[in-house]
């Protein structure tokens, strides 16, 4: 049985003349926690966005879905980068989480009992029920991050696509996020995230796609994040080489 | 005790006041709502640029077809849409950012517009000031019908596509992730802005028309932390401010456009000082 929920076949993406991602061939295993790792400008976000269908592929193809009975047409849940959100926007926590139902009910139908139940459940699961009526700008950084995870939960996605979920998040919250992802994984959901912190990818993720415009390597984390591969991706500017060397011994 | 009858009822015996109030109320609603969208999308100044770019279309239409409402409406509409399409093309085909492309095009359009209107003046008597700042005296029944159609279309669009507009404005990436086309929402909103600006030209002129959009919206965002309430307050302010402004223009014998914008400006300045979300008092 084929259990690769995302399959990238020779994927190339251009912005005008600039080549952002070049002939990437890799798979994302269903139920894995896969990190896209690479230096700035390596095409991490581009690969995520191409997966969501926002970029036309110059060459190649991305096939979505595996042989699992529920995964012929898996649903995406997308969590944007924190920096992309206008936190002054007149929106409450609940109203943002309700947006998660938009894909299912469309622009016209009103919220049914099921939808309200899903929104309430997502708010509770993320510990936001008490502050559901607050404006999003009045939350702490961790709460803000959880609002968007709750929206993704309310979407009911099979594949969680996260763009730099750990960006600007303090250490304690990183731990919470990771355990949240692991819980989703146990529910047979797939986590696919752009991560620029090499250490974090090594500690928390089961699989890694190592990218520097071209694919360097992909597969289980310990097989991919070897010193040779990291040097190939980062050149001489490896951020944490000291931390990497002992692994060779 | 001021004589309320003299202040508010007597002006209504004049047809131009009735028409002015009607057109102000209608465009106050739709302009106030569109203004909220423009502000949240950080397109306030782009809207201003768009308003200025309508002038050459009106000038050319005037030269070719005279001062008919349809000619001016059509000319302004074509100019506005050209500015939107031109900006989009410049943004895609060159390295210019969208605001730079808009800025460059609008000032060019505006200069051409002033030149054309001046040329027209040597042949027939046209008042440049009329185009720039509007005149409530010139509102015809056809203008009223156009404003009614445009503001109804805007209200219907907001009712039908409320969630689309909200979500695309708040988080365009997420909107696209639900499999929908954000550019359709974007250009649909721009088209509504152009239509509303054109409908507001007769009463307010190209320079001041956007005031009815932006001032109520900017004021409303200072009061509420919820999108629906912000929209509602902005529309209400648009109506009340425009109508009060028009009365003020009657009482004080000043042009309608500046009077309306100044009245909306009073609400805005007061709100900056006292509104809960303004942030001024926290400092």
For tokens 């609008």, what's the residue? B106
Q: What is the average per-residue pLDDT within B166-176?
A: 89
Q: Which residue of chain A comes nearest to B229, CA vs CA?
A: A90
Q: Does B230 touch chain A (CB under 8 A)?
A: yes
Both A42 and A121 in a single domain? no
Task: State the total domains in chain A.
Answer: 2
Lowest mean pLDDT among A66-70, A153-157, B148-152, B187-191: A66-70
What are the tokens at A138? 């009045």
Both A201 and A150 in a single domain? no
Please give the order of strands across the beta sheet that includes A59-64. Answer: A59-64, A4-15, A18-29, A214-220, A207-212, A33-37, A190-195, A159-163, A76-79
pLDDT for the residue B125: 57
Sign of the Cα torsion A141, A143, A145, A148 reads negative
The last residue of one of the domains, among A157, A181, A212, is: A157
Both A164 and A152 in a single domain? no
The last residue of one of the domains, among A157, A182, A214, is: A157
- Residues facing A7 on adjacent strands: A27, A63
DSSP designation for A58: S
What DSSP letter does each residue of A94-127 carry, written as one string? HHHHHGGGHHHHTTTSPP-HHHHHHHHHHHHHTT
Asked if B168 and B93 count as a contact pair (C-beta separation under 8 A), the reply is no
The last residue of one of the domains, among A157, A173, A188, is: A157
Identify which has the larger pLDDT, B127 or A111: A111
pLDDT for the residue A249: 41
Domain that holds residue A185: 1-74+159-249
Compute the radius of gyration of chain A from its Cα atoms. 18
Both A41 and A136 in a single domain? no
Name which of B169, B247, B234 is nearest B30 in CA terms.
B234
Which residue numbers of A have CB closer than 8 Å to B's CBs? Answer: 49, 52-54, 76, 78, 80, 84-86, 89-92, 95-96, 99, 102-103, 107-108, 135, 137, 151, 161
Asked if A245 and A227 count as a contact pair (C-beta separation under 8 A), the reply is yes
List, in order of start, the domains of chain B with CATH numbers.
4-271 (1.10.3470.10)
Both A91 and A152 in a single domain? yes
Instruction: Compute the nearest-CA separation of A225 from chain B (Å).
Output: 30
- Rounded CA separation A210/B32 (Å): 49
Both A171 and A214 in a single domain? yes
Name which of A227, A167, A217 is nearest A197 in CA terms.
A167
Angle between helix B211-221 and B256-274 (nearest 10): 10
> Residue A61: which CATH number?
3.40.50.300
Which run of H or of E encompasses A158?
Answer: none
pLDDT digits (tens, 9 = 90+) for B10-59: 888 888 899 999 999 999 999 999 999 999 998 888 888 888 888 888 88
Q: What is the average per-residue pLDDT within A7-15?
A: 90
Lowest mean pLDDT among A66-80, A120-134, A185-199, B36-50: A66-80
Residue A32: pLDDT over 70: yes
Q: Which residues contact A53 (CB under 8 A, 6 or more apart)?
A: B176, B179
């Amino acid at each position: 049985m084929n259990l690769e929920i995302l399959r990238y076949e020779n994927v190339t993406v251009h912005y005008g003349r600039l080549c952002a991602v070049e002939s990437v061939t890799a798979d994302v295993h269903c139920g894995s926690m896969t990190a896209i790792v690479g230096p700035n400008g390596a095409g991490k976000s581009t690969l995520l966005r191409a997966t969501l269908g926002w970029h036309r592929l110059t060459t190649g193809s991305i096939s979505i879905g595996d042989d699992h009975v529920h995964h012929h047409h898996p649903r995406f849940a997308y969590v944007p980068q924190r920096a992309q959100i206008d936190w002054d926007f007149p929106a409450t926590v609940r109203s943002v989480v309700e947006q998660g139902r938009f894909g299912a009910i469309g622009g016209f139908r009103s919220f049914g009992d099921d939808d309200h139940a899903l929104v309430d459940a997502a708010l509770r699961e993320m510990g936001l029920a008490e502050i559901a009526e607050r404006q999003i700008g009045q939350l702490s950084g961790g709460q803000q991050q959880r609002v968007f995870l709750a929206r993704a939960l309310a979407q009911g996605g099979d594949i969680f696509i996260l763009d730099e979920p750990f960006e600007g998040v303090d250490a304690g919250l990183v731990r919470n996020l990771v355990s949240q992802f692991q819980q989703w994984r146990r529910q047979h959901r797939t986590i696919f995230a752009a991560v620029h912190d090499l250490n974090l990818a090594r500690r928390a993720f089961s699989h890694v796609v190592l990218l520097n415009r071209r694919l360097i390597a992909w597969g289980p984390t310990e097989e991919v994040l070897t010193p040779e591969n990291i040097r190939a991706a980062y050149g001489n500017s490896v951020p944490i080489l000291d931390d990497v060397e002992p692994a060779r011994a | 005790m001021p004589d309320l009858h003299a202040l508010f009822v007597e002006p209504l015996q004049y047809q131009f006041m009735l028409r002015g109030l009607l057109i102000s109320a209608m465009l106050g609603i739709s302009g106030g709502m569109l203004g909220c969208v423009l502000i949240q999308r950080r397109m306030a100044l782009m809207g201003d640029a768009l308003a200025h770019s309508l002038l050459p279309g009106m000038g050319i239409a005037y030269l070719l077809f005279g001062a008919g409402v349809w000619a001016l409406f059509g000319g302004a509409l074509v100019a506005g849409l050209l500015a939107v399409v031109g900006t989009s093309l410049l943004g895609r085909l060159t390295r210019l950012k969208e605001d730079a492309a808009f800025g460059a095009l609008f000032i060019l359009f505006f200069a051409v517009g002033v030149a054309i209107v001046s040329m027209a003046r040597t042949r027939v008597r046209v008042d440049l000031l009329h185009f720039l700042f509007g005149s409530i005296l010139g509102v015809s029944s056809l203008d009223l019908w156009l404003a009614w159609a445009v503001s109804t279309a805007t209200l219907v669009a907001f009712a039908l596509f409320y969630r689309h507009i909200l979500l695309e404005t708040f988080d365009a990436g997420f909107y696209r992730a639900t499999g929908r086309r954000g550019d359709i929402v974007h250009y649909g909103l721009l088209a509504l802005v152009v239509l509303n600006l054109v409908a507001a030209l007769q009463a307010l002129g190209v320079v001041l028309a956007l005031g009815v959009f932006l001032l109520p919206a900017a004021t409303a965002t200072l009061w509420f932390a919820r999108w629906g309430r912000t929209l509602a307050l902005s529309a209400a302010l648009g109506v009340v401010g425009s109508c009060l402004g028009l009365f003020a223009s009657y009482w004080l014998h000043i042009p309608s456009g500046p009077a309306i914008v100044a009245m909306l400006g009073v609400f805005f300045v007061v709100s900056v000082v006292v509104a809960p979300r303004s942030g001024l008092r926290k400092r």
